[in-house]
Amino acid sequence: MIEVLEHIPDDSIIPFLNTIRTRLSTEGKLCISVPSINIPVNKKHYRHYSLELLTKTLKAAGFEITHVYYIYKKYWLIETIRRLITNRFYMLKASALTKYLWHLHQRATYMAEEHNALHIVAEARIDSTII
């Protein structure tokens, strides 16, 4: 589930996750991505997540988290470069420069830490105590 849970109202989250759990095999894994509390809540979202809230929510539906990744961090240089390359006056299309900037973007922003992550990605399995 990529960027889904934040769109579900509070009273519907557990029933929704319970449905997912019942359709997952006992060896199956749930991969979930949610926005982090490090960014303001979007008007289309009900909430953003800390690891604590995500763990509590998944546990209430019978899941346990096995791996967590913090991804995408803000980096001022990337936004500046984006504005230089694409804006309302022109669009720069230089493949060598674009490749270099994309590589810079990957190195600077993909992997984050809890305090600066824009998104949390978690791998979970069905809690073995309820199987």
Q: What type of residue is 96?
A: A
- Which CATH number does the domain housing residue 26 bear? 3.40.50.150
- Please indicate, yes or no, if residue 102 is contained in any of the structural domains: no
What pLDDT does 131 receive? 62
**pLDDT for 18:** 96
Residue pair 5/32 in contact by the 8 Å Cβ criterion? yes
> What one-character-per-residue DSSP string does 3-56 give?
S-GGGS-HHHHHHHHHHHHHHS-TT-EEEEEEEBTTSPPPTT-S--B-HHHHHH
- Model's pTM, two decimal places? 0.82
Compute and round to an integer the Cα radius of gyration of the chain: 18
- Domain assignment present for residue 65? The answer is yes
Return per-residue pLDDT of the chain as tens, 131 residues.
999 999 999 999 999 999 999 999 989 999 999 999 999 999 999 999 999 999 999 999 999 999 999 999 877 777 787 777 777 887 777 788 778 877 887 888 889 999 999 999 999 999 988 76
Domain span at residue 9 reads: 5-73+111-130
Helix (H, G, I), strand (E, B) or coil at 1: coil
How many domains in the chain? 1
Q: Considering the domain boundaries, does residue 86 fall inside one?
A: no
- The CA-atom distances, in angstroms, between 47 and each of 24, 60, 74, 80 are 25, 17, 20, 29
Gap between the Cα atoms of 118 and 101, Å rounded:
20
Residue 24 domain-assigned (yes or no): yes
The token pair that represents 32 in the structure block: 């979930």
Residue 45 within any structural domain of the chain: yes
What is the distance between the alpha carbons of residues 13 and 81, in angstroms, rounded to a whole number? 39
Neighbours of 112 (CB within 10 A): 20
In a domain, 92, yes or no: no
Residue 91 located in a structural domain: no
**Does some domain include residue 101?**
no
